[in-house]
Amino acid sequence: MPSIQRLSPEEPTATANHRKDRVVSSASPLQARRRPFTSRTGRVIDFTALGFGSAPLGNLYRAISNEQAHLTLREAWTQGVRYFDTAPLYGLGLAETRMGAFLREMPRDDYVLSTKVGRLLARCAPSERDGIGKFFDVPARRIVYDYSYDGVMRSFDLSFERLGLDRIDIALCHDIDIFTHGSAEASARRTREFLDGGIRALTDLRSQGVVSAIGLGVNEWQVSEVVARNTDADLFLLAGRYTLLEQESLDSFLPLCQRKGMGVIIGGPFNSGILATGARPGAWFNYAPAPQDVLDRVAAIDAVCRAHGVPLRDAALQFPLMHPVVANVIPGAITPEEVRGNVASMNRAIPAALWKDLVEAGLLRPDAPLAGADAGVAHAH
C-alpha cells in the first residue's frame, strides 16, 4: 500500500512544512523517495530524502581527480539522489566547478541545486590562499566575507559562472556563526550585516523568481533561530546539530521552524565522523578528536544499536528524517563506494524498539519525533 505524506500548505499549523500532499510508493528506495517542500512563493522543491553534499569534491583533506569526482556524482545520480548542495568555500570554487560540469549533462528539471552566498573569492599568491592544510590542489584564492546586499548579489552571480548553469534553486547565506567567525561578537556583527542587507538580496532573488527558496547554511542552531525569528526564510541547512548524538535544537529552534513552516536540511549527520566510525581511538567529533564523554556516549548508543542488529551509521543517517521539519539529509561522499554505503544505510529496516530503547536508556531525548520508525523508513508528516 502506498503511504501518504500528510503535507498540505493549507493546514492551519506549519507541521506540514508547507509541503503538498503526495502519494509515495512504500517500495521505492528511501534515498530516492520524494519529500516535496513548498516555499513561501508557492514553488515546490522536490527533495529526495538523501542529498549529496559536495565539500569532499573540493579536495577537502585530500585531493581527488576530476574523474573521481565525476564518478562519485554519477553514482549518486544512478542511485536516485536528486538534491545536490555546494558552496564557493568548498575547494575555493572547485566543488562548484566540478558539480556544474556534471549537472550540465542532466535534465535541468530533474534535480534540485543549492549553493551559498557570503564569501567572495579573491585571487592571491598561492602562499596566501585560504584553506592551506584543509583544501588541497585548489585555486589560489583568499576569502572575503561580505553579507551585504551587493556582496550577496555578487557572490550569487559568481556562483552562476563557476557552475555554468542557468538556474539555482536554493540560495543560502553561509556561515554567520561563531564557529566560522571566532566569537559571539563577530558572529553577531555578521548576522546584523546579513539582516540589514543580505537577506534583502535573497528576498529579491526569490520574489523575482531567480531562486525558489532562500535561507541559511550554518553549524549552529542558535544563529539559525535568530534568522528564523527575524526573516521569512524558507530553509535552514544545519550541520551536525540534530543528530543521534545531539538534539539540543529541539529546545526551541526546531519547534519554531515547525510553527513558521520552515524546512531544515541536515548536514553532518555523523557529527564529523564518530557516528559513522563508532567510538574508536582517534574518532572525530565536530572537526576535532572526540572528548571522552562523547566517546562514552557514542559507545553506549552503539551498544543499543548492536543489540538490535543495526549498524550505528544506519541509525544515525535515518534518525533526523523522522522530524517533520526535516526535508533531507546530506552526508558527504568522496567515492562511488561511499555513495553506495550511504544508500545502504538509508534503506536498512530499523525496528521501533531500537529508538524506544535509546530513549529509555537516556541516550535519546523523549521529545524527539520517532514517527515512521516502526517501518524502518522516515516519512515526512
Active site residues per annotation: 85, 90, 116
Contact 8, 16 (CB under 8 A): yes
Strand residue runs (E) in the chain: 3-5, 22-24, 34-38, 44-48, 52-53, 83-85, 112-117, 119-123, 141-145, 170-174, 213-218, 235-239, 263-267, 284-285, 288-289, 326-330
How far is Cα 189 from Cα 43, in angstroms, rounded to an integer? Answer: 32
**Grid cell locating 214:** 532562500
Contact 350, 310 (CB under 8 A): yes
How far is Cα 370 from Cα 318, in angstroms, rounded to an integer? Answer: 10
Burial label, 229 (beta-carbon count in 10 A; 0-12, 13-18, 19+): exposed
How far is Cα 101 from Cα 89, in angstroms, rounded to an integer? Answer: 17
Residue 263 phi/psi, 5° resolution? -100, 160
Beta bridge partners of 288: 285
